[in-house]
Amino acid sequence: MANLKAAFLVLVVAIFSSMASTHFLNPLILPYLKAFTKSAALAAATFFSWPPPLLLTRKAVSCYHRHHGRHGHHHRGNGNNTGASVCDSFPPDFPPPDTPTTAILCVDRNGCCNFTTVQSAIDAAPILSPKRTIIWINSGIYYEKVMVARNKPNITFQGQGYASTAIVWNDTANSSHGTFYSGSVQVFSSNFIAKNISFMNVAPIPKPGDVGAQAVAIRIAGDQAAFWGCGFFGAQDTLHDDRGRHYFRDCYIQGSIDFIFGDGRSFYENCQLISIASPVAAGQKVINGVVTAHGRASNDENTGFVFYNCSIGGTGRVWLGRAWRPFSRVVFAYTTMTDIIATEGWNDFNDPTRDQSVFYGEYMCSGSGANTSTRVPFDQLLNDTQAAPFINLSFIDAEQWLQPFDTQLILLPLASSSRTY
Ligand SMILES: *[C@@H]1O[C@H](CO)[C@@H](O)[C@H](O)[C@H]1NC(C)=O
Ligand SMILES: *[C@@H]1O[C@H](CO)[C@@H](O)[C@H](O)[C@H]1NC(C)=O
Ligand SMILES: *[C@@H]1O[C@H](CO)[C@@H](O)[C@H](O)[C@H]1NC(C)=O
Ligand SMILES: *[C@@H]1O[C@H](CO)[C@@H](O)[C@H](O)[C@H]1NC(C)=O
Ligand SMILES: *[C@@H]1O[C@H](CO)[C@@H](O)[C@H](O)[C@H]1NC(C)=O
Ligand SMILES: *[C@@H]1O[C@H](CO)[C@@H](O)[C@H](O)[C@H]1NC(C)=O
Ligand SMILES: *[C@@H]1O[C@H](CO)[C@@H](O)[C@H](O)[C@H]1NC(C)=O
Ligand SMILES: *[C@@H]1O[C@H](CO)[C@@H](O)[C@H](O)[C@H]1NC(C)=O
Ligand SMILES: *[C@@H]1O[C@H](CO)[C@@H](O)[C@H](O)[C@H]1NC(C)=O
Ligand SMILES: *[C@@H]1O[C@H](CO)[C@@H](O)[C@H](O)[C@H]1NC(C)=O
């Protein structure tokens, strides 16, 4: 048992590391990425002990020069886990002091700085702070259910890479009073930012016909949220893009059924959308997955999902979207699609009256899944004029709130910096 466990953890680490070194949109890595996630993480997280042992730590720390000449930090936190050396290479002057516009809280699973859980850092963040609170999270997997309450706006989660830092839990609709509360992370506040971190739900993948097995990785219910270089891992209902204006860039989003759903007004740029629905043999008619289920309920709402320069791949045979609510609105632009996309493209949720009210558009997409010759009649191949409002960050009023990735980025000091040793 112990050996098996060790082997599994090595696998998870290996796959995580391989993800870190791969590039977006490289079709060669898709089968490999598909192999990751559910199988490995799920097994590690649920088949073995709970909570599972720490899989990855100190990746960020290990690139920091060890000889910093200060030893006072070695006994910070619970520094007794693996002897006195666990925090040896942790930077002594980290996190940096607050500035007039930022407060920085440090989370390290091994106790090398103030907080060992993400939630404890959120709890310590001031209520209704006019400053941004940056929660710097060291590499590692954080097994906890996390909530950012409405009265904690302006929070940033900054991880060390979506393949090395993750918040993981395993609630389902059944275990949490409904899908909407199953999120491993739930964000209710405005102006939330996440950089270089993954959100995962490792509940068992639903089998066909299962009820109550929906398992959200993150629910985003606050306005003006931005996600840069983040991962979203789950199966059914992975990413609950609930409400508000949201921006996603360079993200990896994995799931099976309705894996991006909600009534958000969101712009997804350069993202990979990966289906893990079961493989479907060529010629078989079955549809076993859906990328989006947008929830626009009336023509008065200005919500919708836009995917710009994204890619869709993975396994199964999936629809681009289905009409969860009558005015569901989704546009794919400049997006490559493999042949996992069902040729009809979209589904009206078995309600033909919705064919009149949904807005499902495609613009300048490519790949074998983007052949629109046998799409449903309510698919719209947009012309330049029709596409213009959607292929523009003004769709989410970005000019009013979105800041560049490197604004207030907190980096660990590296050995090559001006420090003296
Ligand atoms: C989550 O994992 C724990 C530990 O394996 C298990 O006891 C619990 O039943 C799981 N919850 C769900 C909803 O699967
Ligand atoms: C080591 O840490 C564990 C868990 O935090 C704690 O229960 C134990 O008392 C600690 N042991 C020592 C010697 O500090
Ligand atoms: C972090 O820990 C240091 C001591 O190690 C303490 O001085 C500081 O107040 C703590 N900061 C927070 C935000 O808890
Ligand atoms: C967020 O912080 C900025 C300053 O960085 C401040 O102007 C703004 O009021 C804050 N937002 C909220 C909702 O507190
Ligand atoms: C963090 O995300 C940014 C934006 O996607 C990306 O350029 C950068 O390489 C990522 N950094 C790490 C350490 O993964
Ligand atoms: C959810 O709960 C219902 C009612 O108790 C039960 O029939 C169903 O099997 C449960 N689903 C899962 C995935 O456990
Ligand atoms: C499209 O996305 C790919 C992969 O993320 C990126 O390399 C490329 O620069 C993007 N193209 C544009 C025009 O933004
Ligand atoms: C699109 O699909 C139709 C019907 O299957 C096929 O005849 C046509 O050759 C395809 N077009 C391209 C560009 O592959
Ligand atoms: C685009 O399509 C709309 C609606 O069909 C039409 O009114 C408009 O003239 C078209 N514009 C161009 C540039 O083709
Ligand atoms: C984006 O939309 C805004 C407002 O509609 C417009 O002013 C701007 O020119 C557009 N940008 C581009 C690149 O089309």
Q: Are residues 90 and 158 in the same domain?
A: yes
**Ligand 9 atom 1 nearest Cα:** 383
| pLDDT for the residue numbered 158 | 98
Query: 363-378: per-residue pLDDT in tens?
Result: 999 999 999 999 999 9
**Ligand 6 atom 7 nearest Cα:** 211
- Which of 204, 237, 270 terminates a domain? The answer is 237
Q: Is 255 in the pocket of ligand 4 (CB under 6 A)?
A: no
SS3 at position 354: helix
* Ligand 7 centroid from CA 51, angstroms: 38
Q: Are residues 144 and 212 in the same domain?
A: yes
Q: Are residues 132 and 156 in the same domain?
A: yes
Measured CA to CA in angstroms, residue 419 lies from 15, 90, 106, 378 at distances of 34, 14, 21, 61
Q: Is 243 in the pocket of ligand 4 (CB under 6 A)?
A: no
The answer as to whether 195 is a domain residue is yes
The answer as to whether 17 is a domain residue is no
Q: Across the chain, which distance is largest between two alpha carbons, in Å?
A: 71
Q: Could you tell me the CATH number of the domain that includes residue 58?
A: 2.160.20.10
| pLDDT for the residue numbered 76 | 52
108, 171, 241, 258: the active-site residue: 258
Which one, of 224, 349, 254, lies nearest residue 19 by Cα?
254
* Ligand 6 nearest atom to the CA of residue 210, by list position: 13
The answer as to whether 46 is a domain residue is no
* Ligand 10 centroid from CA 321, angstroms: 27
Q: Are residues 256 and 380 in the same domain?
A: yes
Long-range contact set of residues 387-394: C-beta below 8 Å, sequence gap at least 24: 387/331, 387/333, 387/361, 387/363, 390/304, 390/306, 390/331, 390/333, 390/361, 390/363, 391/306, 391/308, 391/331, 391/333, 391/334, 391/363, 393/247, 393/267
Q: Is 215 in the pocket of ligand 6 (CB under 6 A)?
A: no
Residue 55 to residue 9: CA distance in whole angstroms: 7
* Ligand 3 centroid from CA 114, angstroms: 6
Judged by its nearest atom, the ligand closest to the C-alpha of residue 236 is 6
- Which of 217, 237, 257 terminates a domain? The answer is 237
Q: What is the DSSP string of 160-225?
A: S-TTTEEEEE---TGGGTSGGG--SEEE-SSS-EEES-EEEE-SPPPPTT-SS----SEEE-SSSE
262, burial (CB in 10 Å: exposed 0-12, middle 13-18, buried 19+):
buried
Task: Give residue 370's Cα distance to chain centre.
Answer: 25
Judged by its nearest atom, the ligand closest to the C-alpha of residue 387 is 9
Measured CA to CA in angstroms, residue 40 lies from 44, 139, 360 at distances of 6, 18, 35
* Ligand 6 nearest atom to the CA of residue 213, by list position: 13
Q: Are residues 217 and 293 in the same domain?
A: no
Q: Are residues 136 and 191 in the same domain?
A: yes
Judged by its nearest atom, the ligand closest to the C-alpha of residue 388 is 10
| pLDDT for the residue numbered 177 | 92
| pLDDT for the residue numbered 85 | 67
Q: Is 381 in the pocket of ligand 9 (CB under 6 A)?
A: no
Q: Are residues 287 and 335 in the same domain?
A: yes
Residue 280 to residue 391: CA distance in whole angstroms: 32
The answer as to whether 304 is a domain residue is yes
- Which of 237, 266, 285 terminates a domain? The answer is 237
Q: Are residues 201 and 269 in the same domain?
A: no
Which one, of 68, 67, 61, 86, lies nearest residue 76 by Cα?
86
Residues counted in the chain: 421
| pLDDT for the residue numbered 191 | 98
| pLDDT for the residue numbered 418 | 33
The answer as to whether 21 is a domain residue is no
Report the Cα–Cα distance between both ends of the chain, in Å, rounded.
Answer: 44
The answer as to whether 43 is a domain residue is no
Q: Are residues 84 and 182 in the same domain?
A: yes
Tokens of 160: 């060390």
417, burial (CB in 10 Å: exposed 0-12, middle 13-18, buried 19+):
exposed
Within 6 A (CB) of ligand 5 lie: 160-161, 195-196, 228-229, 249-250, 405
Domain count, the chain: 2
Q: Is 209 in the pocket of ligand 6 (CB under 6 A)?
A: no
**Ligand 1 atom 10 nearest Cα:** 170
The answer as to whether 417 is a domain residue is no
Task: Give residue 107's Cα distance to chain centre.
Answer: 19
| pLDDT for the residue numbered 84 | 60
Residue 241 to residue 238: CA distance in whole angstroms: 9
Torsions phi, psi for 374 (to 5 deg): -120, 35
Q: Are residues 269 and 170 in the same domain?
A: no
Q: Is 175 in the pocket of ligand 3 (CB under 6 A)?
A: no
Where in the sequence is the domain holding 293, given as residue range(s)?
241-402
Q: Are residues 186 and 295 in the same domain?
A: no
Judged by its nearest atom, the ligand closest to the C-alpha of residue 409 is 5
Give the residues of the chain that fall short of pLDDT 70: 1-85, 413-421
**Ligand 10 atom 7 nearest Cα:** 394
Q: Is 420 in the pocket of ligand 9 (CB under 6 A)?
A: no
Residue type at position 279? P
Catalytic residue at 258? yes
**Ligand 2 atom 14 nearest Cα:** 80
Q: Are residues 366 and 322 in the same domain?
A: yes
The answer as to whether 23 is a domain residue is no
* Integer Rg of the chain from CA: 22
